[in-house]
Amino acid sequence: MRFTRAMAIVERDMHKFRRSPMLLVAALALPLVQLVILGNAFGGKIRNVPVAVINLDHGPQAVTVQEKLLAVAANERTFLPEPYADQTQALAALRAGHVAAVLIIPQNYSRDRLLGQHPQLALITDNTDQISAAGVSQTMSALVNSINAPAAALAPRDPTQVALDIVEVYPYTSYMKYLLPGLITLSIFITAMIGGGIVYIDDKQRGLHEGYLVTPITKWELILGFNLAGAIKAFLAGLVILTVGSEIAGVHSFLAPVRFVELLVVTALVAVALIAMMFLLMARIDDPLVPRAIFGVLNTLLFFPSGAIYPIAGFPAWLRAMSVVNPFTYAVHAYRVLLLQQAGIGAIATDLGALALTCVITLGSATLLFRRAL
Amino acid sequence: MATATTTNAIEVHDLAKTFGTLKAVDGISFTVAQGEIFGMLGPNGAGKSTLIRMLTTLITPTAGSAMVAGCDVAAEADAVRMRIGVIPQNMTSDPDLTCAENISIHARLYGMGRQQRKQITAQLLEAVGLADRAKAFARTLSGGMRRRLEIARGLVHQPQILFLDEPTTGLDPASRMSVWELISHLRASGGMTLFLTTHYMDEADKLCDRIGIVDHGKLVVLDTPAALKAAVPGASVIEVRFQPDVAGGSAVLEALPLVSQVRQQGAALYRVSTDSGPATAGAIMDLARQQHVEVASLSVQSTSLDDVFLHVTGHGLTEHDTIVPSVGWGKRTA
């Protein structure tokens, strides 16, 4: 094994990488756009949802409900109550999408409440939009609770009642911050996909690899050269999203020296693991369409089940199983621990182990499959 | 280990390559002497590229053996690779790198150090006439310059044998000339052996010491260009104009040895068919001296290799329809 021969491949790739920034742009654009757009689009509180209110009661208790609704509209702003005269009109508005829910205060509501005859309020929601419906339902439940226990806030607490005190360990984590670890990993993956997949097969197709094969470069030197070149590019892409993305998302802790070194270690390991995985997938491919065709599928299979955008705890069992064998999962977890949870390298030992194992398995298999031939 | 045990640069015995049921190369044997320019001529799909890919260790033979620079292509592939330079048919230089980088990086693949690479790069760019384009991207070169860059790359490690797979295919006439000049120059400047494939008759005729003609994976004939052409009956045509006309006209020319036919084309202008152009040309000059007439013009049009090809294969170079996709098949099976 002569290192300089492998480095010839790296040298070539670095020249090209430097001159044609398109690979870097492509690897950075998607994660950055997703960070900003998804980070702001998802995970925000539901606000200003129009809700139709039909008051058929007009008694004093109904007035209390109306006041509570207005209080929500003024403070929490989850929804905006809009008075409707009759049910038919309100339901038509619901179907037309003008309102997201219809609250009905029925006739005799005040009387039932005063007489203790199971007073009821009806909430009809447009559940085609689950998220808005859930937000309205949640706020409405809280509203009803406050009607039921108006004194609770004022009176001393009942000493027999269990209270749940929720303590948030970390400062408020926006969805954008939650997304950041996944998107750093995604930028590394995209570099691997384009550089180690599309460009690699295109070079092979154009005969550039033939130029290597007529020289005495060995199989091992070729594998080392291709993977090292790819990993360096992927590492640089990851580093950019790590720094720029952290700034955008407002995660400033990454600059602490020890933390930064830990993050570099993780980034290098993720880069090698994902490049090696791509090298394995491309070991026997000649058709330039293949890497393009599998790009989207691979992205979906790796990125989404990794916990990058939605917690793994919410997955069905089979999808959880997929996340266990997905190197992305460990990359995302490692970044999340280091960036958001401020824990040290000890907390990501499992992740580092899993990523190292990925490198060993993929490089090992690729070495068996890779042929030093046309 | 590899030691040169013979004086032949290339020795090929019953070499064959089969792709599925297709015999791309079907038992070829020949030798190439050191310092020789050897041409493999044949139509597209005849098996030339498959043959050159076996000789340059890119694909392994199905049967037979080949010794290149004294080393077995199958058993001692790395030793062969150290001793040969290859200019594949597909341009393998990187269009996004400069000329100098292309050469320097290729030199690194042979394990050369920085200083040595710098030196050899400058030398080779000079040698192929691209010194002023050192910093130009390969993609900005014309076809001929690009091919010369490829040749420079193939020379970085001073190989004993240089393989050129269709070096001028797709080039315009001026570019072809410049590549031919470079190849002739390489031969003149050292003892390097050159093995080239081509489907251009004039190229093989102009450059090669010996030519093998392959068709349907078999070597049909192998000889010097002159001998190949001589083997075609009624080989040459001489056009001659006397000043003034010879006494006896056509009859006296027909009486010359080796002449098969004479046709008078105009006043004192004759077309003489002969088995040997040079011999008959000499005889005509002697005749003119004897009769004290001048030879105003004389041209010998020797049989072209096209005629040879037609003669030995029974079909022309361009009307070959058998498709042997050497590139694609090579990849699949390699």
pLDDT at A102: 92
A310 located within any domain: yes
Question: What pLDDT digit, counting tens, does each position of A285-308 carry?
Answer: 989 999 999 988 999 999 989 988
Last residue of a domain, one of A131, A148, A165: A148
Q: Which of B110, B330, B331 sits opposite A215 (nearest CB)?
A: B110
Q: Which residues are within 8 A (CB) of B141 and not within 5 positions of it... i.e. 6 or more apart?
A: B99, B130, B133, B149
Last residue of a domain, one of A148, A182, A217: A148
Interface membership of A208 toward B (CB under 8 Å): yes
pLDDT at A372: 86
Number of Cβ atoms within 10 Å of the Cβ of A84: 22
Q: Which residue of A has its CA nearest to B80?
A: A216
Interface test with A, best of B93, B108, B156, B161 (most A CBs within 10 A): B108
Residues from chain B that touch A20, judged by Cβ atoms under 8 A, are: 96
Interface membership of A314 toward B (CB under 8 Å): no
A364 located within any domain: yes
The answer to whether residues A357 and A287 belong to one domain is: yes
8 Å CB contact of A211 and B108: no
Q: Which domain holds residue A203?
A: 3-41+174-369
pLDDT, mean of residues A231-251: 91
A15 located within any domain: yes
The answer to whether residues A281 and A258 belong to one domain is: yes
Please state, in angstroms and rounded to a whole number, the distance separating the CA atoms of residues A62 and A80. 17
pLDDT, mean of residues B85-104: 91
pLDDT, mean of residues A128-133: 84
pLDDT at A273: 96
Question: What pLDDT digit, counting tens, does each position of B33-72 carry?
Answer: 999 999 998 888 888 989 999 999 999 999 999 999 999 9
Res A153 pLDDT > 70 = no
Distance in Å, alpha carbon of B154 to nearest chain A alpha carbon: 9
Distance in Å, alpha carbon of B28 to nearest chain A alpha carbon: 22
Q: Which residue of B has its CA nearest to A371?
A: B334
pLDDT at B232: 67
The answer to whether residues A215 and A331 belong to one domain is: yes
Q: What is the largest CA-CA distance in chain B?
A: 76
Interface membership of B290 toward A (CB under 8 Å): no
8 Å CB contact of B108 and A4: yes
**What are the CA-CA distances from residue A56 to residues A100, B189, B239 (Å)?**
20, 107, 119
Closest by Cα among A229, A353, A327 to A270: A327
The answer to whether residues A231 and A326 belong to one domain is: yes
8 Å CB contact of B88 and A210: yes
8 Å CB contact of A373 and B58: yes
Residue the block writes with tokens 């369409």: A289
Interface test with B, best of A7, A212, A285, A374 (most B CBs within 10 A): A374
Instruction: Name the β-bridge partners of B298.
Output: B240
Dihedral sign from CA coordinates of A52, A56, A58, A60: negative
- Strands B161-165 and B84-87 come out as parallel
Determine which helix (DSSP H) or strand (DSSP E) holds B228, and give its type and residue range. Answer: helix B225-230
Instruction: Name the β-bridge partners of B258.
Output: none
Number of cross-chain residue pairs from A and B with Cβ atoms under 8 Å apart:
80
CA angle, A125 then A130 then A133, to 5°: 35
A67 located within any domain: yes
The answer to whether residues A55 and A24 belong to one domain is: no
Interface membership of B170 toward A (CB under 8 Å): no
Residues from chain A that touch B53, judged by Cβ atoms under 8 A, are: 374
- Evaluate whether B197 touches B40 at the Cβ level (below 8 Å): yes
Last residue of a domain, one of A106, A131, A148: A148
Q: Which of A208, A286, A371 sits opposite B94 (nearest CB)?
A: A208
A251 pLDDT band, cuts 50/70/90, is confident
Interface membership of B331 toward A (CB under 8 Å): yes
Interface membership of B86 toward A (CB under 8 Å): yes
8 Å CB contact of B96 and A207: no
Q: How many domains would you assign to chain A?
A: 2
A168 located within any domain: no
The answer to whether residues A22 and A67 belong to one domain is: no
Q: Any idea which of A276-280, A366-370, B165-169, B247-251 has the lowest mean pLDDT?
A: B247-251
- Token digits for A248? 């955008």
Q: Which of A207, A215, A371 sits opposite B90 (nearest CB)?
A: A207
Interface test with B, best of A213, A220, A224, A226 (most B CBs within 10 A): A213
pLDDT at B330: 36
User: How does DSSP classify residue B109?
Assistant: T
- Token digits for A32? 């950055």
A243 located within any domain: yes
pLDDT at B138: 94
Closest by Cα among B284, B177, B305, B291 to B241: B284
Residues from chain A that touch B59, judged by Cβ atoms under 8 A, are: 373-374
3 state DSSP class of B31: strand
The predicted model scores a pTM of: 0.78
Res A156 pLDDT > 70 = no
Res B326 pLDDT > 80 = no
Instruction: Name the β-bridge partners of B163.
Output: B86, B195
Checking ipTM against 0.85, whether it exceeds it is no
Interface membership of A11 toward B (CB under 8 Å): yes
A123 located within any domain: yes
- Token digits for A270? 């993720």
The answer to whether residues A331 and A221 belong to one domain is: yes
A165 located within any domain: no
8 Å CB contact of A374 and B330: yes
pLDDT at B320: 44
The answer to whether residues A338 and A306 belong to one domain is: yes
Residue the block writes with tokens 């032949």: B8
pLDDT at A350: 94
Distance in Å, alpha carbon of A240 to nearest chain B alpha carbon: 24
Please state, in angstroms and rounded to a whole number, the distance separating the CA atoms of residues B150 and B138. 10
The answer to whether residues A37 and A56 belong to one domain is: no
The answer to whether residues A187 and A325 belong to one domain is: yes
Residues from chain B that touch A206, judged by Cβ atoms under 8 A, are: 90
Alpha helical stretches, state H, B46-137: 48-55, 77-83, 99-108, 114-127
- Evaluate whether A15 touches B97 at the Cβ level (below 8 Å): yes
Task: Give the 3-state DSSP-derived string for chain A, with helices as H, strands as E and coil as C.
Answer: CCHHHHHHHHHHHHHHHHHCCHHHHHHHHHHHHHHHHHHHHCCCCCCCEEEEEEECCCCHHHHHHHHHHHHHHHCCCCEEEEEECCHHHHHHHHHHCCCCEEEEECCCHHHHHHHCCCCCCEEEECCCCHHHHHHHHHHHHHHHHHHHCCCCCCCCCCCCCCCCCCCCCCCCCCHHHHHHHHHHHHHHHHHHHHHHHHHHHHHHHCCHHHHHHCCCCCHHHHHHHHHHHHHHHHHHHHHHHHHHHHHHHCCCHHHCHHHHHHHHHHHHHHHHHHHHHHHHHCCCCCCCHHHHHHHHHHHHHHHHHHCCCCCHHHCCHHHHHHHHCCHHHHHHHHHHHHHCCCCCHHHHHHHHHHHHHHHHHHHHHHHHHCCCCC
In what order do the strands lie in the sheet containing B210-215? B84-87, B161-165, B193-198, B37-41, B210-215, B218-223
Q: Which residue of A has its CA nearest to B96?
A: A16
8 Å CB contact of A7 and B84: no
CA atoms in the 13 A half-sphere facing the CB of B1 = 3
8 Å CB contact of A19 and B56: no
pLDDT at A116: 84
The answer to whether residues A198 and A270 belong to one domain is: yes
**What is the CATH classification number for the domain harbouring A98?**
3.40.1710.10
A189 pLDDT band, cuts 50/70/90, is very high
Closest by Cα among A39, A50, A1 to A222: A1
Interface membership of B106 toward A (CB under 8 Å): yes
Interface test with A, best of B109, B153, B160, B327 (most A CBs within 10 A): B109
CA angle, A368 then A374 then B5, to 5°: 95
Which residue type, as a one-letter code, is found at position B270?
A: Y
A158 pLDDT band, cuts 50/70/90, is low
Interface membership of A331 toward B (CB under 8 Å): no
- Evaluate whether B25 touches B15 at the Cβ level (below 8 Å): yes
pLDDT at B308: 76
8 Å CB contact of A214 and B81: yes
Q: Which of A2, A11, A215 sits opposite B81 (nearest CB)?
A: A215
pLDDT, mean of residues B262-290: 83
**Residue scoring higher pLDDT (A1 or A269):** A269
- Token digits for A192? 């691997």
B2 pLDDT band, cuts 50/70/90, is very low
The answer to whether residues A340 and A315 belong to one domain is: yes
- Percent of chain B past pLDDT 70, that is, above it, reads 90
Interface membership of A5 toward B (CB under 8 Å): yes
Map out the domains of chain B with their CATH numbers. Answer: 8-229+309-333 (3.40.50.300), 233-302 (3.30.70.100)
- Evaluate whether B307 touches B315 at the Cβ level (below 8 Å): no
Distance in Å, alpha carbon of B58 to nearest chain A alpha carbon: 6
